Each structure stands twice: as structure tokens, then as C-alpha cells.
Structure 1
């Protein structure tokens, strides 16, 4: 696993901006970082019970990508397996954290093992994770099970 220093958030408002901006496709492309992905995911899972993350996340991210000129194809854009692995990881983190504030939970997630950019490689070989089938749809891990029994029906 490689080392990285995540960009942490100072306020709840920054996180709400990312989550609501994803929903509204109103974020600038430059705002959509690794940290923003995880912050928006935690926000949607924890603070927006009206959003069915499992059913809607692919469409939300794909629409956002297209809104900033991106393309969702075999080489770029939305990656289903990585996204769904992180959704499972965010849920695991939320189940285990004692933090209750939004910014504290997001920053805790970003500092945790789950928040690492290479976290999915604990479950997937690089070859499988970065394959076209994994980008286009959820594929089960080939190294270790995802946490919380996540599988294609749960995510």
C-alpha cells in the first residue's frame, strides 16, 4: 500500500457542498477528487436517506462526469467495482466509528485504511480491478471478500 496524505475538510458545509453538488451536477471538475468522492459517498449514505445509494450511485456519478465533459466508457469515467467497493467501505467505517459530526466522520474516513486510494487492492488483483468488466459492472473480488458481505446484490 502506498502512502498518501489526504486533503481533510474544515467544515460540514464543504462536505454538504460536495454531496449536493454531485446530486445537482453543479461541482467544478477540479473539485471531484478522491477525497470528494469519499466525502460525497459518506454524506449520501449517512445524511441523505432519501437517496438510494445502491440504486442511484452509478447514474449520479456518470451524469456528473458527463456534465463536466467527461466520458464514461471502457477506458475512463465511472468505475462500478471501485465505487461499490468504497460504498461498502464507507458503510463499514460508519458502523465502526464513534464520531457523530459530519466533518469528523469524513476526516476519520479519509485517515482510515478505507480512505486510502489503494484500499480496493486489498480485495482485488490489479488486473481484475482495472479490467473493462470491473469498470462496466460490479465484479466480485478475487483476493479477499469485501467487508460486510458486499456483493453485487448488496451494492
Structure 2
């Protein structure tokens, strides 16, 4: 098992997502890879537009369950959430339909979309880490991604 991609089986990945959904996922597992992997799994379970509606409340609830405040400085970030839902949905659409589930997720997490500075190709730090971007959708201020946003 690797730190960058911690899942060895499809079941480990789906269990991770299920624990997020029931708010029992340990905070130590809510890493960057954990975020991306859960979104990848959820986009295989639900339509993209449904996730855009439910993810804000799910993440806020998860944060509260793990004693992470949702403030203007930490916790839920609306622009990051919506950006990654759109980006990961695009990544999935670009995969071969017969691509193995776990292999696809591993490629997401370990590839360019999984880089921690991925969004900085599209956003300045000032814009991305602003209170406005945390509270509401903010369009990219540097480059427009190849995938549809809003």
C-alpha cells in the first residue's frame, strides 16, 4: 500500500467512500488522495449534477463530525469542491469504458489531476484561497480547463 494511493482493492476504495458517507471515516484518511478517490467512486455511483448538489452538505457534515470547523479559513471550500467534481467527471469520461475501476482511480490520483498544485494551473493563489472562493463558485482567473465548468 502506498501513501499516495492507499487502496489495494476496489472494496477498500468503496469502503473508504462508504465511511465518508456515513461520517465514520477517520480524519487521518481524509487526505488529498482520499478526497480524490472518494469523488472518483461517487462519480461512478451518481450523476455529476447530483454530486454537485449533495457534496457541499456532505463535506460540511463530515467536517463537523471530525471537529473541523467550516469557516472562512478552513473546512469546506466551494470552488475546490465543484472544480474537482467537474475535473474528475471529465477524467472519467476520457477513460476507456473497460478501464478497471481501481486502475482508473490510481491513474487519477497519481497523474496530473492528482497533483496538489493542479488547480494552480487555472487559479492564482490569491483567487483560489480567497474567502469568496471558499464560500461560492469562482471561475478560474488564469486559464480555462479543457473540461466544462459553469
Both proteins in one fold, TM over 0.5: yes
- Specify every segment of 5 or more residues in structure 2 that has no aligned partner in the other structure, as ranges: none
Instruction: Pick closer, same or farther for the CA change 1:116–1:50 going to 2, 3 Å.
Output: closer
Distance across 2 between alignment mates of 1:138 and 1:124:
12
The answer to whether the Cα contact below 8 Å between 2:16 and 2:25 also exists between their aligned partners in 1 is: yes
Distance across 1 between alignment mates of 2:47 and 2:138:
26
Instruction: Pick closer, same or farther for the CA change 1:32–1:105 going to 2, 3 Å.
Output: same
**CA shift at 1:8, angstroms?**
4.2
Partner of residue 107, structure 1: 106
Superposed structure 1 runs of 4+ greater than 6 Å apart? none
Distance across 1 between alignment mates of 2:75 and 2:127:
17
> Aligned runs of 1:12-91 on 2, under 5 Å?
12-49=10-47, 52-91=50-89
Which stretch of structure 1 is more off in the superposition, 21-30 or 7-16? 7-16
Instruction: Pick closer, same or farther for the CA change 1:145–1:16 going to 2, 3 Å.
Output: same
Q: Secondary structure at the match of 1:75?
A: coil
Instruction: Pick closer, same or farther for the CA change 1:49–1:124 going to 2, 3 Å.
Output: closer
The answer to whether the Cα contact below 8 Å between 1:65 and 1:72 also exists between their aligned partners in 2 is: yes
Partner of residue 6, structure 1: 4
The answer to whether the Cα contact below 8 Å between 2:48 and 2:85 also exists between their aligned partners in 1 is: no
Which stretch of structure 1 is more off in the superposition, 77-86 or 96-105? 96-105
Partner of residue 146, structure 2: 147
Distance across 1 between alignment mates of 2:82 and 2:66:
22
**CA shift at 1:100, angstroms?**
2.5
- Specify every segment of 5 or more residues in structure 1 that has no aligned partner in the other structure, as ranges: none
Number of residues paired by the alignment?
147
Distance across 1 between alignment mates of 2:88 and 2:48:
17
The answer to whether the Cα contact below 8 Å between 2:5 and 2:33 also exists between their aligned partners in 1 is: yes
Instruction: Pick closer, same or farther for the CA change 1:147–1:18 going to 2, 3 Å.
Output: farther
**CA shift at 1:51, angstroms?**
8.6
